[in-house]
Every structure is written in structure tokens, then in C-alpha cells.
Amino acid sequence: MSRSLKEETDMTSIKPDPAACDAELDASGLDCPMPLLKTKLELNRLSSGAILKITATDPGSQRDFRSFARLAGHQLLHEEAEQGIYRYWLQKA
């Protein structure tokens, strides 16, 4: 039996367990393009399939990380924005 569209949508909106990430990068206080550049360097150290959690304070990081994931083939598993703090869970391709 196939899952309903609602079930599939619910599954993709599940927040990853922060403890399940393989590495964390704190890019707080850095302006564009530094959060993305530091992320690229950190991803180079990780194996394919690894999950990197990034914390940033640059509002432009939302656009940057969405585009970067799409263009580089990585998967943006989850993102959240709360009181000027942006968090991303990125799975390396």
C-alpha cells in the first residue's frame, strides 16, 4: 500500500535530531559570503552522506544555503529561523 501525500509531506518536515549530525559549524556573526565559504571547507573534510549542522546569523544565508544545496547536489534536510539565528542541516552529496 502506498503512503498518502500527507504522510510523505509530514516525513520531509521532520526536524533532524541535532545529536545525529556528524559535525557542527558555528558561523554566527559572519557576513556573506563567509558562512557559505566556511561550510564548503567543512564539507570537504566530511564523507559523502555526512550531516553538517550550521548555525548562522546572516539573513542572506537562507537564500545562499538553499541555492548552494541545489547547485552542489547536497540535500538541505531542514532549516529553521528563530530570533535572528538560522540553523541548517545539510547532508553532503
Contacts of 12 (CB under 8 A, 6+ apart): none
- Given the residues 23, 30, 32, 76, select the one marked as catalytic: 32
Q: Which of 86, 46, 92 is nearest to 62 (CA)?
A: 86
Q: Is there a catalytic annotation at residue 21?
A: no
Cα separation, 43 vs 59, in Å, equals 21
* Active site (catalytic) residues: 32
